Amino acid sequence: MAYTSLLFHHKGSIIKAAIVGALIAVLVSVFLPQEYAATTKLLVIPKVNLGVDPYTAVKSGERINQTLSEVIRTTSFFDKVMSASGFQIDQSPYQTTEQKKRKRWERAVSPTVLSGTSLLSVTAFDTDQKQAEVLAGAVAFVLQTRGTEYTGADVEIKVVDTPVLSRFPVRPNYVLNLIFGALVFGLIAAGNLVWKSEN
């Protein structure tokens, strides 16, 4: 109870610290690379036997999508995307050590399995809007044309949404960073007050 009274009494200084933290977080975010996103969606259709109920078919599609979402992050898939014909992908960011290349690739492409459907959403990120769009298109192309190399032949993969590009940068997330900065500095200020009261 004493701590509650202490923090309430000094709420002004805690709020000020939170505001400072929020401002610092936003300022730091401004100087980080501003990345755009391009999102495409694919429909994965398992070729099931006649008489199989729709629920089982959808669950089968979900499992395949889960496999594909893991495959997308692999070096094997990366190589196929980079060599896909008709896509002018800037490969210079990946001309580094194998470890850094893999980390860069995992950050550049984010697959999401849409629960309850046979849809796989893939989002590509880049500081250049056009490159984000090209990368998303290349990933979708490789999944559609060569995805069965990872899933087996009894699957049909279709692009149902061509890449949709974000108008504004989506990374870093200013709102999330602002909230995080405010919370951290607010907690530090509160902790400092409690510590001083104990000493």
What H or E segment, with its residue span, contains residue 161?
strand 155-165
The reply to whether omega before 93 is within 30° of 0 (cis) is no
More confident residue, 58 or 82: 82
Task: Based on the fold, state whether residues 68 and 143 are members of the same structural domain.
Answer: yes
The reported pLDDT for the residue numbered 51 is: 61
Could you tell me the pLDDT band of residue 88, with boundaries at 50, 70 and 90?
very high
Quick: pLDDT tens for 134-186: 999 999 999 999 998 998 768 889 999 999 999 999 998 889 999 999 999 98
| pLDDT per position as a tens digit, 105-116 | 999 999 999 887
Per-residue confidence band for 49, with pLDDT thresholds at 50, 70 and 90: low
Query: Could you give the CA distance from residue 33 to residue 172 in angstroms, rounded to a whole number?
Result: 8
pTM of the complete model: 0.82
Q: Based on the domain organization, do 24 and 43 belong to the same domain?
A: no
Helices 75-82 and 129-146 meet at what angle, rounded to 10?
110
Exposure string of 84-119, with b = 16+ CB inside 10 Å and e = fewer, is beeeebeeeeeeeeeeebbeebeebbbbebeeeebb
Q: Indicate whether 78 and 136 sit together in one domain.
A: yes
Name the pLDDT band for 9 (thresholds 50, 70, 90): confident
Give the domain extent around 155.
Answer: 36-165
41 and 123 part of one domain = yes
- Calculate ∠ Cα 116-122-128, nearest 5°: 155
Shared domain check, 121 and 79: yes
Shared domain check, 41 and 27? no
Q: State the Cα torsion 116-120-121-125 to the nearest 10°.
A: 140
Do 9 and 53 belong to one domain?
A: no
Judgement on whether residues 121 and 194 belong to the same structural domain of the protein: no
Q: Are residues 96 and 51 in the same domain?
A: yes
* Token output for 178: 């602002």
Residue 126, pLDDT above cutoff 70: yes
95 token code pair: 């001309």
Q: Locate all alpha helices (DSSP H) within the chain, ordered by sequence.
A: 2-9, 11-30, 54-71, 75-82, 98-108, 129-146, 148-151, 174-198
Domain count, the chain: 2
